[in-house]
Amino acid sequence: MKAIESLLEELKSVLKIHNQKPYLPYWGDLFIILNQVKKIAIKNNEDVYFYQIKPSGKLKYDYKKKQFIVEVPDLNILVKDDELIDSLLNGRFIPK
């Protein structure tokens, strides 16, 4: 299982390529990365802070709720996997 840091670099790489070639399908690549983050959280029985969101906030996986949470100032947004992937592909909740 990959470390969180390497998964973040992989995510950034996929998003960069998506920006260069948006006509290619990247949904599956992002799904695999996010699924690995979930596995790490479940294996360790702890929440995993995946990355800092641009311009402010954090993305974490809550292993008890089994859901990703976008934490922005004064607001927490629970997102399903498919919603998060679509948001990333549309330029929302992207890492710093």
In a domain, 15, yes or no: yes
Q: Compute the mean pLDDT over every residue in the chain, rounded to the nearest whole number.
A: 93
In a domain, 80, yes or no: yes
Contacts of 96 (CB under 8 A, 6+ apart): 51, 52, 53, 54
Q: Residue 2 above 80 pLDDT?
A: no
| Domain housing 17 | 4-89
In a domain, 95, yes or no: no
Contacts of 21 (CB under 8 A, 6+ apart): none
- So what's the pLDDT on residue 1? 57
In a domain, 9, yes or no: yes
Number of independent structural domains in the chain: 1
Q: What pTM did the predictor assign?
A: 0.89
In a domain, 94, yes or no: no
pLDDT tens per residue across span 34-76: 999 999 999 999 999 999 998 899 999 999 999 999 999 999 9
In a domain, 47, yes or no: yes
